[in-house]
A = this chain, B = another copy of it.
Amino acid sequence: MLDLTSPVYPVRIVLRRTGLTAELLRAWERRYGVVAPGRTDGGQRLYSEADINRLALLRRATQYGHSIGRIAEFSDSELEDLLADAPAAPSSRSGPTPGAPGQIATNTRRACLEAIQWMDGGALDAALRRASVALGPTQFAEQVIAPLVREIGELWHAGRLRIVQEHLATSTIRQVLSGILAFAPAADEAPVFVAATTSGQRHELGAMMAAAVAAAQGWRAVYLGPDLPGEEIGIAAARLHAGAIGLSLVYPTDDPLIDRDLADLAEAIGRSIPVYVGGEGTARRGPQLGDLGFTVIPSLADLSDRLARP
């Protein structure tokens, strides 16, 4: 039985699941000792599940704007607190991944924000579609959509965006994600990934991104929609013989409906189907979700990686 602290993952897995580069990961270890991986006899690093989780948290925090030097020594729960107030995702100075993709993502986000200012839905749509083709669904979701959604939220909170602008942006992003889902091949024998949002959760972009990532990994992604009771999600998953379920928790984070729904869902499927939960709303719910047998997804790259495995 492998527990969360057994060192079993080689670097390349860590890189895929966290989105870090090899150089940066080693620099972090060397300079700040963010994790202390085990070693093979030959001296190569071996990471544990807990290490990966911590690194993903750190990366999200740095991409949000925290400086690595400051937060390197924070405990996992402190990092979660840090991310609980602050949404998930990049908007940092040098792009997430080096070179071209990061550049494309950064430029796209800038172009998108400009289009939103001008309420130019067409330009926004075009910019997003271009980027989605250039980057592929997973990178597109993680490096463009997620950060963009966060930036929009911040501008909106700062009072620098009108209601229409926010709505137009949301609608257009939803359109583009729909397009990606519709465009996905979907072989008949492919396992089914069911994505949805629980009661009261009206932010659907997270669930749609999860569906897009699943589709990119060859799953038949079915996006059920937002604001669904847990039991209903369970029924649909059972009827569709789903191989996995993706949920997104964003806001409100303290709604008691959430607990109810999660419990209902757990009961309806009885641990027979893996459930992945992502979004800012997961920050303070780690233990509860673990008890239900659900898996918390710290980043879309992590989800992508988990869905890629047999």
Contacts and interface: CB of A to CB of B under 8 A. Distances in A.
B228 A164 contact: yes
Contact of A164 (B157, B176, B235): B235
A277 B233 CA distance: 35
A179 interface: yes
Contacts of A225: 164, 167-168, 170-171
Contacts of A69: 40
A158 B17 contact: yes
> Which residue, A91, A119, A174, has most C-beta atoms of chain B within 10 A?
A119
B160 A81 contact: no
Contacts of A255: none
A53 to B, nearest CB: 11
Contacts of A133: none
B154 A122 contact: no
A82 interface: yes
Contacts of A19: 155, 158-160
A162 B232 CA distance: 8
Contact of A157 (B12, B17, B182, B223): B17
A222 B13 contact: no
Interface of A: 1-2, 8-10, 12-13, 16-19, 40, 44, 46, 49, 56, 59-60, 63-67, 69-71, 78, 81-82, 85-86, 89-91, 118-119, 121-122, 125, 129, 151, 154-164, 167-168, 170-171, 174-176, 178-179, 181-182, 186, 196, 220, 222-229, 232-233, 235-236, 239-240
